[in-house]
Amino acid sequence: MYSKTEFQDSSFIDDAEILSSLVEAKETAKDVGAVRAILDKARSCNGLTHREAAVLLEIDDPQLEHELYALAKEIKERIYGRRIVLFAPLYVANHCINGCVYCGFHAGNNAMCRKKLTMEEIDQEADAILALGHKRIAMEAGEDPVNIPLDYIIECMKRGDSIRRINVNIAATTVEEYRRLKAAEIGTFILFQETFHRPTYAKMHPKGPKSNYDWHTTALHRAQEGGIDDVGTGVLYGLYDYKYETVAQLLYAESLEKMCGVGPHTISVPRMREAEGVDMEKFPYLPTDEQFLRIIAVIRVATPYTGMILSTRETPETRRRALDLGISQVSAGSCTGIGGYHKEIGQPEQPDTAQFKVSDERTPDEVLTWLCEDGYIPSYCTACYRQGRTGDRFMSLAKSGQIRNICQPNALLTFKEYLIGYGSDHLKELGEKVIAGEVEKIPSDKIKTLTKERLHKLEEGAQDLYF
Ligand code: SF4
Ligand code: SF4
C-alpha cells in the first residue's frame, strides 16, 4: 500500500558519491600498502566504509585477493563459528501487478499459471516443510492488493505458527501495515532493492507500484519505524554493474544504521537466474562466479555482524565456495513454485508456477551431509528472535563477539533434534560424530555442561531446547 505522506526520501543513495567512490577505488587499489591498511582495519571486525569496500572490489593482485578471502573466512568464523543456518522459502501466491522484467511472476507473463494457496493448502505446505525438518521459513508473495491483501499474509503467518520463525518477503508498504506485521510476530522483514541504479531500476520496473524507486528504497526505514527491528536487504546481481550495486548496498546499510539505529540484520546475495518468460540474453551485467565470490567476501569484511544469505539459485559448487567466504545462512530443499512442497517433496519444481529455476536440487538430508563433510555444523536455530534478541540487542551481542557462544550450542541442539526426527542412517552416524567433537570445543565450561545435558534430554524425547 502506498501513502504519499510517509517517509520516502531516498537521497541517501547518492549516485555521485557511489561513482566517485568507484573512481577513487581504482587508484587506491594500485597501492598495496593502502589495500593492506584496509584489510588490517577490517580485521578488527568493526566493518568498513563503502569507500574502503570499493577498493577491495577493485584489487587484481592475486596475493591481495588471497589475503582478502582468508580474512573473510577468518571474520566469519570469529563471529559465527562454523554453524550454517538453514531455511526454506514458502511461496504462498504468485499473483502480481508489477512488471519486473527479471521475474517469472511479472504481470505480463501470460504463460504463468497464477495460484494463491488456500488456508488448507498453507497447512499442507507447513506440514510438508516441517516434515523436511525445517524450523525457519521465508514467506514470499507477489504484489497484488486485491488478490493478496495484507490480511491474507497475516492469516498465512497464523496458519504457519507451528514453524518457529517466519520471515516475510512482500512488497513495500506503510508504517501502519508494518505495525500489523510486527503484531503478527514477523521474524525478519526482507525486501530486496533489486538495483540501486535509478535508470536501471526504471528500466527493470516499467509498471506497477514497484516502479516507484523512492517508495521501494525507503521501505526498510518505514518497517523499522513500524517496530520491525530485524530487516533484510539485498540486490539482484545481474541487473546492473556489480561494483556499483555493492557500493550502493553498503551505503544503504550505513544509512539504515545512521537513521534507524540498527543496520540490516541480513544481506542476501541473489544472482539472476533463468525463469519462465525471462530472456537471459537481456542481462549483460551477470557477474561471473569469480566476481560473485568477490562480492560475498567484500560484503562479509565490510559488514561483519550482518547475516549473509544464499539461496538455491546457486550451484552446489558455488555454494561451497561462498560458505567459506562469508555466507551464514542457506536454503535447502527449496521449492520456488506455489504449493510445491506437499506435492513433490524432493523432486524438481513444477515449472509453471516457479519464480526462478533452482540450481541446487538436493534434499535437506543431502545438503546437511555435505555441510558436515565440509566441516560445518548445520543449524536450525531460531533462538534469538524467540528470546527477544532482535535489533540493537542482537547487534550488541554480535559486536561484543558473544553471539558465537550462543550460536554454537544452539546449532548442536537443533542439529541433534534434526537427526533424531529426520536424519537418514548415514547422516545420523556422521552428525553424531560432528556433535561429539564440536561440543568439546565450547569454550565456557558452564555452557558445555548445559549443552551436554540438553543433548541428553533431546535423546529422551525433549524438543526445542535452546539458549
Ligand atoms: Fe512481482 Fe516481486 Fe516478481 Fe516483481 S519480483 S514481478 S514484485 S513477484
Ligand atoms: Fe541465529 Fe541467534 Fe541462533 Fe545464532 S543464536 S543461529 S544468531 S538465531
DSSP 349-379: PPGGG-SS--S----HHHHHHHHHHTT-EEE
Q: Cell numbers at residue 126, please?
A: 507447513
Angle of the 242-260 helix axis to the 50-58 helix axis, nearest 10: 160
- 413 Cβ closer than 6 Å to some ligand 2 atom: no
Nearest atom (ligand 2) to Cα of 385: 8
**Start-to-end Cα distance in the chain:** 38
Stated as kind and residue range, the H or E segment containing 397 is: helix 391-399
C-alpha distances in Å from residue 145, one per residue of 95, 149, 246: 10, 5, 31
- Position 350 scores a pLDDT of 52
Instruction: Give backbone dihedrals phi and psi of 207, rounded to 5 degrees, phi first.
Output: -150, 165
- DSSP per residue, 302-367: HSTTSEEEE-TTS-HHHHHHHHHHT--EEE-S---STTHHHH-TTSPPPGGG-SS--S----HHHH
Residues with CB under 6 A from ligand 1: 96, 98, 100, 103, 105-106, 142-143, 210
Number of Cβ within 10 Å of residue 424's Cβ equals 15
**Atom 4 in ligand 1: residue holding the nearest Cα:** 100
Nearest atom (ligand 1) to Cα of 103: 3
Instruction: Give backbone dihedrals phi and psi of 359, rounded to 5 degrees, phi first.
Output: -110, -10
Write out pLDDT tens, residues 432-463: 999 999 999 999 999 999 999 999 999 999 99
Which fold is adopted by the domain 77-361? TIM Barrel (3.20.20)
From the list 111, 262, 298, the residue with the least C-alpha distance to 188 is: 262
- Position 273 scores a pLDDT of 82
- 85 Cβ closer than 6 Å to some ligand 2 atom: yes
165 forms beta bridges with 136
CA dist., res. 18 & res. 244, Å (int): 7
Q: In a mutational test of the pocket of ligand 2, which residue from 410, 415, 442, 465 has the highest number of ligand atoms less than 8 Å from its CB?
A: 410
CA dist., res. 158 & res. 124, Å (int): 14
Q: Is 32 helix (H, G, I), strand (E, B) or coil?
A: helix
Stated as kind and residue range, the H or E segment containing 158 is: helix 150-159
CA dist., res. 295 & res. 292, Å (int): 5
Buried b / exposed e along 433-445 (16+ C-beta atoms within 10 A): ebbeebbeebeee
- 377 Cβ closer than 6 Å to some ligand 2 atom: no
**Atom 3 in ligand 2: residue holding the nearest Cα:** 381
403 forms beta bridges with none
Instruction: Spell out the domain ranges in the chain.
Output: 77-361, 377-459
CA dist., res. 131 & res. 343, Å (int): 13
Alpha helices in 4-149 (DSSP H): 15-28, 32-43, 50-58, 62-80, 119-131
285, amino acid identity: Y
CA dist., res. 406 & res. 374, Å (int): 22
Query: CA 377 from chain center: how many Å?
Result: 18
Number of Cβ within 10 Å of residue 289's Cβ equals 14
Buried b / exposed e along 330-358 (16+ C-beta atoms within 10 A): bbbbbbbbbbbbbbeeeeebbeebbbbbb
CA dist., res. 406 & res. 220, Å (int): 27
Over the Cα atoms of the chain, what is R_g?
Answer: 21
- 397 Cβ closer than 6 Å to some ligand 2 atom: no
Nearest atom (ligand 2) to Cα of 398: 7
Q: In a mutational test of the pocket of ligand 2, which residue from 230, 380, 403, 412 has the highest number of ligand atoms less than 8 Å from its CB?
A: 403
**Atom 6 in ligand 1: residue holding the nearest Cα:** 106
Q: Is 75 helix (H, G, I), strand (E, B) or coil?
A: helix
**Atom 5 in ligand 1: residue holding the nearest Cα:** 103
Question: Could you list the pLDDT tens digit for every one of the 467 residues in the chain?
Answer: 899 999 999 999 999 999 999 999 999 999 999 999 999 999 999 999 999 999 999 999 999 999 999 999 999 999 989 999 999 999 999 999 999 999 989 999 999 999 999 999 999 999 999 999 999 999 999 999 999 999 999 999 999 878 999 999 999 999 999 999 999 999 999 999 999 999 999 999 999 999 999 999 999 999 999 999 999 999 999 999 999 999 999 999 999 999 999 999 999 999 998 777 777 888 999 999 999 999 999 999 999 999 999 988 898 899 999 999 999 999 988 888 898 888 653 344 455 667 666 777 889 999 999 999 999 999 999 999 899 999 889 988 888 878 888 999 999 999 999 999 999 999 999 999 999 999 999 999 999 999 999 999 999 999 999 99
- Position 365 scores a pLDDT of 94
